[in-house]
Chains A and B, each alone.
Chain A
């Protein structure tokens, strides 16, 4: 078990460009979550998948954001026409609902996005 991995770890892009991030969850986990963390704040929920189905999206996820998990394994998060306000750490987490309905999530190292 290698844990949750994310790629790239850092991304610098110019405003208006599109970016795509990848998350590889722990292999036996059926749930995958995306969060965004800005400096000095806690992570904020963006969206989550159970297997390949996207079950919930936060209102933070504007129409410039799209996430997929095509085969219920890895996931991608794409941001189109990036804006400076998109600069943040994007975190991925995975979990499986355990005994008693406990959802212990395991986080990846994050992708730090800087929009110039």
Chain B
């Protein structure tokens, strides 16, 4: 079945550092890929998405590129801020799975001032 694996956290960075959170997936079909973010005390928010190979999703300075050859969708940001501290979830959804979303376990990010 479909699955998502993402790097374990927590990840602790200083402000303005470069961020990478690795995500790889297994899917039988051609999934759409997502990154969701969950800020402390808040619900899940869609951060960015990509729907086909080589697409790049971007939002709020975050980027991720859909790499079919490596089945990866790594999240990157060039310069993190304290306000980026949150839990980040990689996820996929495809037609063969009824479009339900399969999530990774989440990666907690702490950004220090």
A residues whose Cβ falls under 8 Å from a Cβ of B: 31, 33, 35, 40-45, 48, 55-56, 91, 93, 95, 97, 100-110
- Contact for B106 among A41, A102, A104, A105, CB less than 8 A: A41
Q: Which residues of B contact A103 (CB under 8 A)?
A: 32, 93, 99, 101
B residues whose Cβ falls under 8 Å from a Cβ of A: 4, 32, 34, 36, 42-46, 49, 51, 89, 91, 93, 95, 98-106
- A91, B101: Cβ atoms under 8 Å? no
Using CB atoms, name the residue of chain A closest to B103.
Answer: A42
Contact A105 B98, CB 8 Å, known A40-B106, A41-B106:
no
Contact A42 B106, CB 8 Å, known A33-B101, A100-B51, A102-B51:
yes
Q: Which residues of A contact B89 (CB under 8 A)?
A: 42-43
Q: Which residues of A contact B99 (CB under 8 A)?
A: 31, 48, 95, 97, 101, 103
